[in-house]
Amino acid sequence: MMHGTGLGMGFGGFGLGWIFMIVFWVIIIIAIIYIVRYIFFKDGSGISDLTGQKENAEDILKKRLANGEITTKEYEEKLRILREGR
């Protein structure tokens, strides 16, 4: 046999259960947002590649040279410009 008035039905019968339900779901949603941001924006500047490391300009130049997109002369010139800018 159950006793009580049946009012509130949450948090000791004070009727505050709905507040805690809202707080619970807000915390869950915020946690999901932070997890997604951590996975995709680890360094804060954009989507990281699968290794979690972003390529710097020199790495991109090396790949372009290796793929034949630029000549050795262009590579050396662009590398010099990059290093002077630092």
pLDDT at 28 over 60: yes
What pTM did the predictor assign?
0.39
* Percent residues over pLDDT 70 in the chain: 66
Categorize the per-residue pLDDT at 85 as very low, low, confident or very high, splitting at 50, 70 and 90.
confident
SS (H, E, C) the chain: CCCCCCCCCCCCCCCCHHHHHHHHHHHHHHHHHHHHHHHHCCCCCCCCCCCCCCCCHHHHHHHHHHCCCCCHHHHHHHHHHHHHCC
Q: Would the pLDDT of 26 be above 90?
A: yes
pLDDT tens track for 59-80: 899 999 999 999 999 999 999 9
Domain boundaries, the chain: 14-54, 55-86
